[in-house]
């Protein structure tokens, strides 16, 4: 099967989320092929899962002091500080990637696993029974099922949404982290515990390379490895492409009307009207 | 797995019709595909939906999934137990895991739904 590859895009968070949703919507209508997108963030940005309580999880003053943007994702899961990372997103109709949530997670995670292998890193998928202890609101402090771990520590965290029979899964491959900045932007009851938990349960590419004596790869090599990883895992041909005019237009609209709208950002799960 | 007295949609919702009202939930197959449900977003009583509109959202294993209503209607009751116990959908999808009750806008829409046998066959 041929998929489209979108890469080398660095944008602000609200546009990144809007593009992911636009990809989902137009692919669900059969107007575009399945897509793998690789992207980055033009400024550090905290993202919150669909069901998370904004004020409970995020310190807005801390974000403002540190020029950290904040938004709510269309997907589930917990808070992530997007900073030095490569973000991937996959959009595909369920008929083309059948299976329940866990099964599709497993299949897509396999692409990430091969990607890490191409970088010379031996990673593992946590298994279905894996239930990490949840100690804070942040995503990287505990791996859950089918997450990518290196030496038991989470290095890529992913989240999914399913609308109109279409899957959008996106996730963060941590290249490096700034724990001090995380302490500023997450509302944490026990900051020491958070740092210890991150050190124990999570890692990033820079650390892994240091530990394994590998040269830290260039960003192009990281992208390449992920592209090769997904191609191998899903048995697909990725063809470099661009957003269609309709996708661009829809992304602009979603950025302004949804991801930059306070009703969406601060939304609590108390009714409909903001999710469509 | 698929009670005979219910009608089913291709999007894996069921409806139990009593008079001009219908109780709606998701099927055993759907809850199994989703995995452990940890959050549920419900509509409000009085909300009106057209057939196949998204009427709720669930989160399972970090996947947020829209729920699509099998018939047009106005919400008359919501299952508030799900807010604190979303796992009821997994444990008892046709009983305590019901999601909403609606007053049907157009009962002829029921003819478009599947019976248990046809629904089960569609899963193969």
In the predicted model, is pLDDT for residue A275 greater than 90?
no
How far the first Cα of chain B sits from its last, in Å, is 14
- The predicted structure's pLDDT at residue A272: 32
Question: Does residue A271 sit at the B interface (CB-CB below 8 Å)?
Answer: yes
Q: What is the mean pLDDT of chain B?
A: 96
Average pLDDT on B44-54 reads: 97
The three-state secondary structure class of A67 is coil
Contact (CB, 8 A) for A47 and A16? no
Based on the residue annotation, tell me whether A139 is a catalytic residue of this protein: yes
For B66, nearest residue in chain A (alpha carbons): A163
Q: What is the mean pLDDT of chain A?
A: 92
Rounded to two decimals, the pTM is 0.94
Tens digit of pLDDT for each residue in A55-87? Answer: 999 999 999 999 999 999 999 999 999 999 999
Percent of chain A surpassing pLDDT 70: 92
In the predicted model, is pLDDT for residue A271 greater than 70?
no
Confidence of residue A143 (pLDDT cuts 50, 70, 90): confident
Domain ranges of chain B: 7-106
In the predicted model, is pLDDT for residue B13 greater than 60?
yes
CATH 2.40.50.100 fits B7-106, yes or no: yes
Confidence of residue A124 (pLDDT cuts 50, 70, 90): very high
Restricting to A residues 182-241, those with a Cβ less than 8 Å away from any Cβ of B are: none
Residues contacting B120, CB < 8 A, separation 6+: B1, B2
Catalytic residue (choose from A139, A168, A227, A250):
A139
- The predicted structure's pLDDT at residue A136: 63
C-alpha of B67 from chain center: 7
- The predicted structure's pLDDT at residue A239: 98
Task: Give chain A's domains with CATH numbers.
Answer: 2-121+157-187+219-265 (3.30.930.10)
For A75, nearest residue in chain B (alpha carbons): B64
Beta strands in B19-110, from DSSP E residues, in sequence order: 21-26, 37-41, 48-49, 54-60, 63-68, 73-78, 100-104
Question: Does residue B32 sit at the A interface (CB-CB below 8 Å)?
Answer: yes
Average pLDDT on A36-63 reads: 96
A256 half-sphere exposure, CB direction, 13 A CA radius: 5
Tell me whether residues B60 and A101 touch, CB distance under 8 A: yes
């Amino acid at each position: 099967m041929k998929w489209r590859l979108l890469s080398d895009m660095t944008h602000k968070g609200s546009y990144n989320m809007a593009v992911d949703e636009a990809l989902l919507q137009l692919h669900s209508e059969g107007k575009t092929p399945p897509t793998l997108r690789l992207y980055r963030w033009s400024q550090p940005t905290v993202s919150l899962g669909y069901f998370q309580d904004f004020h409970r999880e995020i310190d807005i003053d801390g974000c403002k002091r540190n020029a950290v943007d904040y938004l709510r994702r269309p997907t589930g899961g917990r808070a992530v500080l997007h900073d030095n990372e490569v973000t991937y997103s996959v959009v595909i109709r369920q008929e083309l990637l059948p299976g329940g949530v866990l099964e599709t997670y497993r299949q897509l995670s396999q692409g990430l696993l091969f990607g890490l292998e191409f970088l010379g890193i031996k990673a593992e998928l946590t298994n279905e029974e894996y239930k990490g202890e949840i100690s804070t609101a942040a995503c990287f402090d505990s791996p859950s099922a089918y997450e990518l771990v290196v030496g038991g520590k989470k290095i890529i965290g992913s989240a999914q949404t399913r609308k109109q029979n279409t899957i959008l899964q996106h996730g963060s491959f941590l290249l490096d982290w700034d724990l001090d900045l995380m302490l500023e932007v997450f509302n944490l009851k026990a900051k020491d515990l958070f740092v210890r938990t991150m050190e124990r349960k999570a890692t990033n590419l820079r650390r892994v390379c240091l530990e394994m004596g590998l040269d830290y790869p260039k960003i192009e090599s990281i992208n390449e490895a992920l592209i090769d990883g997904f191609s191998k895992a899903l048995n697909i041909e990725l063809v470099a492409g661009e957003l269609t005019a309709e996708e661009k237009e829809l992304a602009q609209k979603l950025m302004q009307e949804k991801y930059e709208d306070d009703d969406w950002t601060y939304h609590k799960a108390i009714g409909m009207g903001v999710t469509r | 797995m698929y009670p005979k007295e219910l009608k089913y949609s291709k999007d894996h919702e069921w409806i139990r019709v009593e008079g001009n009202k219908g109780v709606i939930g998701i099927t055993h197959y759907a809850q199994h595909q989703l995995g452990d449900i940890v959050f549920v977003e419900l509509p409000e009583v009085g909300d009106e939906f057209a057939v196949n509109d998204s009427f709720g959202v669930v989160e399972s294993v970090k996947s947020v999934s829209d729920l699509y209503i099998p018939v047009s209607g106005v919400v008359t009751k919501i299952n508030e137990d799900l807010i604190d116990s979303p796992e009821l959908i997994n444990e008892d999808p046709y009983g305590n895991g019901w999601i909403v009750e609606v007053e049907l806008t157009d009962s002829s829409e029921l003819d478009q739904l599947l019976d248990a046998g046809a629904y089960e066959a569609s899963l193969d």
